[in-house]
Structure 1
């Protein structure tokens, strides 16, 4: 910890939330006179890298100044009145639960901006691309930093329009249909979620998330808690996405540009699971206890369903798209997150938060790599990549082959890498769920989840075998004559994700030391 004054910490958090929004407005302005004669496109892309880099630097400074001895306490807080008639306040703060998500979000947006500087997806104005990217960043960061229910809802909704346009204007085939499907599903879920948030605020007399968590639902009747938890949970489950509300996700990932897929999987899905932890567990504990077995059942089905869908896509002749396959894998991985939350135990919730971070790092890397492979080969269709002799990455592009294999084994939960701990802790939490939950039912869900890990290993190893192995000297007519290995800008964008995946896998306490005290306090209603 570095000693940073409270006022500076407040400024850092405010800048992290508002800085990208100001940067988005600046990106739309004409370039300054000093850039005359230079490429306007490169100038605005450089602006995106600069703004996201400054936000990442502020997030790192906030992390260094964070008091790691008291991670259960909200720090860098700002609390000022905004809409007095509704008692809505601009209330910001971070604790051990939100800080890792804030830092990972800032990192992924910087890496995406850096990647786009060298490999901008084909589409309209780069100004619009950078502006939308920065608005998206502001909304996601605000979601993890705000401590007011209505502000949470506004931040939660703020990401929809920029992500819609990133898919619809810079995406690939079927992008319009995928973008409409994305926004319709999420908007319908959000309407129901808003009703649940208003129900809590009106019946408790406050929208302050800290006060509500401390009260632990004592001011709310059981019926109010149950209805609010069901309504809010439905909206969050769409964004997570939970089976069977996941059907928008594969189309959105398949159509989105590379950076869109990275951010959708690495950041936007985490907003849903974060809402479960930050709002439903502490504010509606009785309602959540009633709904927890159903949530766990849907999670367990999602784990197996996602893995079986991926296995189907790996079959020869299935014309499985690798981006679509990774999207379905996210349904399975987020199932472990929801299972951990449903246990309502410190072990399970810590596992869910760890799996959130691990999924963001690993799946972000996978989407980066599939995007790069598509740029080189012209397709991400698995049959094309594996046809005849296969892409043979081990022989034709060994560094890319090694990185793809690394990402795959990290995703399947190899011990020593980040993907292992979250899933293991979620299963441990299901082994001994919270008091009042049916242990036989959760043991069944645990067994189903454990079976899902075997299916996950199966489809990921099949992908590695089909894409990475083969004769590097034999080349079908459709294959490129030269398959470039990892470029310098790709190495710069991917290395931090690889390093953090290894670090979190070998030193899980770096995350669990932050989340565990905050989770203990959250589940105890602020009395721990």
Structure 2
């Protein structure tokens, strides 16, 4: 059935976690182990159901695949429109993969309100998958907002001592950006309606719709603020360390592994194709902020005494590379950016899991409380080092491939930005290796560290699968890069075509309306094939 072209596989993947929630609601709240197993099995089945997306995906076309397009609120042109291309495919798979492992990683860490906690994690997965699959602005915005609610509760209820402060700060930052994005979406909608007489919220239609330069600037700015907060780019990053430090392990894994990628994905899906000229105009600003974020995030990581906060600030640095490669606006840079989104999700997600393992044993994240841990946890120390090497971009592991492509793209775009970005590579090695040395090597100075147990079977179960992908992508990245190649090429071509149209067609003219109408008719014809 799943091989049928009419099978709604994206909807099944998106809403299967809700079925798990329904089952959990019927279970007695005191049966914690049963609730955990239902949540994990639901997420695991969701991942297995998502695998055909990869194997059935046609890498030879840029067009959306596994499309579901059903009228929803027809009088306003709102539809239930879902689909994936080479840009979103790997992000959907990353979401389903990490969601299952995140639940496994927090098995014993949360022992109060387990039912609500697992419901929140599964509800969050539905929102995340929906964001990457939605091809209608209204549908996208619904999933975008839905996703904020469970993460707010995960941080605010099951987080650390300052959880309320961190949760409120997270919500205010992201909600502020969301409101700006909603205003921009409505302006786009009415602009298109006045130009063509057609009401539609279809995202792909706006990829074909030429906007005047002045309007592009202001609308791109609104989208930019929403996505820059989510990435987060410097200086919009201040909510991230608090959210990471206070969140439980699974919350940190999902936050770093998936939620931050929604900002970078937003630029790829909306910013570049819909506002091509504004994207080009903003290149200097975004590249400067990206380089600052790379160096600033690494330097602040260097002085942290809390392992989890160190990893949190490292995300600011790593996501700076993603933005740098993306706005290099060449094939190598954009492909490297997308691959690095996946790499960061795997490597940083694994680092937060490792921090969670230490915290479950010692109930402290202070680096000074450790030392000599390798002597009592040799297997853990080996896997920890491998993940740290991955995060710093050592050749043979996934981080190297993504950073190499980004730097190639950056150097092609600007020698200066490329040189500055390499400083972050050096600093990344320094803060990770120095942290590893202080935690793993030396004498065991704390009595509590002498009897730490090495990794358990459950910990192997959620860490080893990530390490498999870390090595696989590092040794043989072709299966991942091939899936995105044609879609990235098409994105860059669309940007070039849209800029040409915008320069050739006078603002608010009859020609612009005719051009928009022709694009819409062509799109409708393509959808009807």
Q: 1:224 aligns with which of 215, 221, 244?
A: 215
TM-score normalised by the chain length of structure 2: 0.90
Paired position in structure 2 for 1:23 = 20
Q: Structure 1 unaligned runs (5+)?
A: 32-37, 314-319, 434-441
- How many angstroms does 1:504 deviate by? 0.6
Contact 1:88 / 1:207 at 8 angstroms: preserved in 2?
yes
Judged with a 3 Å threshold, the aligned counterparts in structure 2 of structure 1 residues 375 and 120 are, in CA distance, closer, same or farther, namely: closer
Paired position in structure 1 for 2:129 = 141
**Equivalents in 2 of 1:288, 1:231: separation in Å?**
12
- How many angstroms does 1:39 deviate by? 6.2
Once the two structures are superposed, residues 157-180 of structure 1 have per-residue CA deviations (whole angstroms, 9 ceiling, x without a partner) of: 111110011011111121111111
Aligned-pair Cα RMSD in Å: 1.8
Contact 1:133 / 1:162 at 8 angstroms: preserved in 2?
yes
Paired position in structure 2 for 1:495 = 464
- How many angstroms does 1:376 deviate by? 1.0
Once the two structures are superposed, residues 195-250 of structure 1 have per-residue CA deviations (whole angstroms, 9 ceiling, x without a partner) of: 1222222212432122222x1x42x1111111111100110110100000000000
Q: What secondary structure sits across from 2:282 in the alignment? A: helix
Paired position in structure 2 for 1:210 = 204
Once the two structures are superposed, residues 505-525 of structure 1 have per-residue CA deviations (whole angstroms, 9 ceiling, x without a partner) of: 111112110111101111212
- How many angstroms does 1:23 deviate by? 2.4
Paired position in structure 2 for 1:175 = 163
**Equivalents in 2 of 1:519, 1:399: separation in Å?**
40
Alignment of structure 1 residues 23-62 onto 2, 5 Å: 23-30=20-27, 40-62=31-53
- How many angstroms does 1:98 deviate by? 0.8
Paired position in structure 2 for 1:127 = 115
Q: 1:14 aligns with which of 8, 11, 26?
A: 11
Contact 1:74 / 1:93 at 8 angstroms: preserved in 2?
yes
Q: 1:290 aligns with which of 271, 276, 281?
A: 281
Q: Does 1:258 align with 2:249?
A: yes
**Equivalents in 2 of 1:446, 1:149: separation in Å?**
35
Alignment of structure 1 residues 299-318 onto 2, 5 Å: 299-313=290-304
TM-score normalised by the chain length of structure 1: 0.90
Once the two structures are superposed, residues 242-298 of structure 1 have per-residue CA deviations (whole angstroms, 9 ceiling, x without a partner) of: 000000000110000011100000010001100000111111101111112101110
Contact 1:253 / 1:324 at 8 angstroms: preserved in 2?
yes
Q: Does 1:109 align with 2:117?
A: no
Contact 1:347 / 1:426 at 8 angstroms: preserved in 2?
yes
Contact 1:281 / 1:344 at 8 angstroms: preserved in 2?
no
Q: Structure 2 unaligned runs (5+)?
A: 194-199, 498-529
**Equivalents in 2 of 1:179, 1:122: separation in Å?**
20
Paired position in structure 1 for 2:318 = 333
Q: Does 1:186 align with 2:174?
A: yes
Contact 1:521 / 1:527 at 8 angstroms: preserved in 2?
no
**Equivalents in 2 of 1:29, 1:523: separation in Å?**
49
- How many angstroms does 1:470 deviate by? 1.4
Q: What secondary structure sits across from 1:380 in the alignment? A: coil
Once the two structures are superposed, residues 344-368 of structure 1 have per-residue CA deviations (whole angstroms, 9 ceiling, x without a partner) of: 2221111110100000000010000
- How many angstroms does 1:3 deviate by? 9.4
Contact 2:396 / 2:474 at 8 angstroms: preserved in 1?
yes
Contact 1:417 / 1:506 at 8 angstroms: preserved in 2?
yes
Q: What secondary structure sits across from 1:329 in the alignment? A: helix
